[in-house]
């Protein structure tokens, strides 16, 4: 289990780095275009990794059922979940959407018990709640301008339903991932999912009329895309699959939810964003929660 926990923490650190990279890319291009291009770049770098790690030997294990399960995780997480999350952000703002949608590890824990037979231990549930509380304290926005208070009750209820729906999709997707990746090379399992991300994201970008932005890319933008593709898809997603295989979806999701904590020192070191005082309290809560989960 020790290696699995270490892999889950490495995945969380990589996911924090991915967030910083996406923040830079969002100022240069449409996010759907960025998502499709970095997935395409990730696939190009991931295929050699599959070969180097001997993943080609597991191709025979990719039955239609397993391929369908792997693609379902992408549909739930990257397509439906992300759309619901964006919809919630538009209706509720970051301040309300973040704590609701970030409860997805709790859904993972609760769904893992009936679907995977994982023991529903009280320390894990308490640890998950403490981790999510700590992450919220770290990541909550400072300004009240991000809270659209002057909205009608129907808009608020719709936004809450969308945020909960996004969390449910992410939690369920993590549980389902355990079905599709059992005994399969993590890089191979990740590579199977990437083409759908590429096609769906670029199709949306084309519909939005943003594909032409490619013509204006400079060398710095291309380098940023390449790094984002490697970090987000070759490292982050592959490590996530490997962690789910070794320690299960519940612990993987809880540890992965700590990514905003690591994003703070990264932001300070790389782009000069100084951490707030609340970040220290949030970090302490997160550490306590992690101890409860992994002990």
**Model confidence pLDDT, tens digit, residues 54-74:** 999 999 999 999 999 999 998
pTM above 0.75, yes or no: yes
**Model confidence pLDDT, tens digit, residues 234-277:** 999 999 999 999 999 988 988 888 887 787 778 777 766 666 66
Q: Are 213 and 33 in contact (CB under 8 A)?
A: yes
Q: What is the pLDDT of residue 68?
A: 94
CA 165 to CA 81: how far, in whole Å?
7
| Phi, psi for residue 273 in degrees, rounded to 5 | -85, 115
Residue 121 domain boundaries: 2-294
**Model confidence pLDDT, tens digit, residues 92-131:** 776 677 667 777 888 898 899 888 888 878 888 888 888 8
Q: What is the pLDDT of residue 264?
A: 72
CA 63 to CA 67: how far, in whole Å?
6
Residue 58 is given by DSSP the state G
Q: Are 172 and 75 in contact (CB under 8 A)?
A: no
Tokens of 161: 């339903």
Percent of the chain residues past pLDDT 70, beyond the cut: 89
**Mean pLDDT computed over every residue of the chain:** 85
Q: What is the pLDDT of residue 262?
A: 82
Mean pLDDT calculated for residue range 32-53: 94
**Model confidence pLDDT, tens digit, residues 265-274:** 787 777 666 6
Among 215, 95, 109, residue whose Cα is nearest residue 168: 109
- Residue with the larger pLDDT of the pair 87 and 221: 221
Residue 150 is given by DSSP the state S
Number of domains forming the structure of the chain: 1
Percent of the chain residues past pLDDT 90, beyond the cut: 44
Q: What is the pLDDT of residue 98?
A: 67
Q: How many CB atoms lie within 10 A of CB 62?
A: 15
H-type helices in 117-218, by residue range?
122-139, 153-180, 186-208
Q: What is the pLDDT of residue 236?
A: 93
Mean pLDDT calculated for residue range 77-103: 77
Q: How many CB atoms lie within 10 A of CB 61?
A: 13
């Amino acid at each position: 289990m020790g290696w699995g926990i270490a892999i889950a923490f490495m995945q969380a650190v990589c996911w924090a780095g991915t967030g910083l990279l996406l923040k830079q890319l969002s100022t240069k291009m449409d996010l759907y275009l960025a998502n499709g291009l970095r997935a395409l770049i990730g696939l190009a770098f991931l295929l050699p990794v599959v070969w180097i790690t001997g993943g080609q030997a597991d191709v025979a294990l990719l039955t239609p059922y397993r391929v369908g399960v792997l693609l379902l995780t992408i549909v739930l997480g990257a397509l439906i979940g992300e759309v619901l999350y964006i919809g919630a952000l538009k209706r509720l703002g970051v301040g309300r959407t973040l704590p609701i949608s970030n409860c997805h590890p709790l859904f993972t824990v609760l769904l893992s018990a009936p679907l995977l037979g994982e023991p529903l231990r009280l320390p894990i549930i308490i640890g998950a709640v403490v981790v999510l509380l700590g992450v919220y304290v770290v990541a909550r926005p400072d300004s009240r301008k991000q809270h659209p208070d002057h909205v009608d009750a129907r808009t608020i209820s719709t936004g809450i339903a969308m945020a909960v729906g996004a969390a449910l999709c992410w939690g369920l997707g993590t549980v389902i991932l355990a079905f599709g990746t059992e005994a399969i090379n993590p890089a191979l399992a990740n590579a199977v999912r990437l083409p759908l991300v590429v096609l769906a994201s670029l199709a949306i970008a084309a519909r939005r009329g943003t594909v032409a932005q490619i013509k204006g890319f400079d060398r710095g933008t291309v380098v940023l895309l390449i790094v984002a593709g490697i970090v987000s898809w070759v490292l982050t997603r592959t490590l996530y699959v490997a962690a789910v295989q070794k320690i299960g979806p519940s612990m993987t999701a809880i540890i992965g939810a700590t990514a905003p904590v690591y994003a703070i020192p990264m932001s300070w070191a790389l782009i000069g964003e100084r951490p707030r005082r609340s970040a220290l309290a949030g970090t302490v809560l997160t550490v306590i929660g992690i101890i409860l989960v992994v002990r």
